[in-house]
Amino acid sequence: NYEWGLDRFIQEARTLAKFSHPNIVRVNRFFEANGTSYMVMDYEAGESLYQILRRAPMPEEATLKNILLPVLDGLQVVHQAGFLHRDIKPSNVFIRENGVPLLIDFGSARLTGGSTSKSRTAIVSPGYAPLEQYTSSGNQGPWSDIYALSGVIYRAVTGENPPDAVRRMKADNAMTVLAT
């Protein structure tokens, strides 16, 4: 399993390195050393949306659109290539010093489907991960990343972290919170 995972990581790094989109972090190089694999990405100056929201919660609608619409454009490129990010949250949306947003941290990214797929690792950022990410056999797809990005919007609009998917299954009051 370790060798399979290492091979998948290199294959995924190779694909991610092909992306050239202004709102996706650029992978410059990938290599194997010390019995594992690495990705080298561009350094970008700025701060995460998480940091911004802690300092200035509930930004204006125009500000949110200037951040989220370009991220959606970048995410579309990722999905068209058959990948899922699987860890979209405010700390993985980076705002460069010039204000241009960047989707970062593809450490959890995986190819969707395919004959070489095994059960995916359960990756969970509570409040941002959809229910299907709570198990390794969940039916994940582009909708999973959209759910997570919706959690980012929820956080920005309400000033509160979104409820986790398991809690929402028991009693979903997320729409009530947004309506107030």
**Cβ–Cβ under 8 Å, residues 131 and 138:** yes
For 5-34, the pLDDT digits (tens) are: 888 788 878 877 888 899 998 889 999 999
For 133-154, the pLDDT digits (tens) are: 887 777 889 999 999 999 999 9
Q: Is the pTM of this model over 0.85?
A: no
Sequence-distant (≥ 6) Cβ neighbours of residue 73 within 8 angstroms: 21, 23
Where the chain has pLDDT below 70, the residues are 107, 109, 111-123, 170-180
Provide the annotated active-site residues: 87
Residue 96, H or E segment: strand 93-96
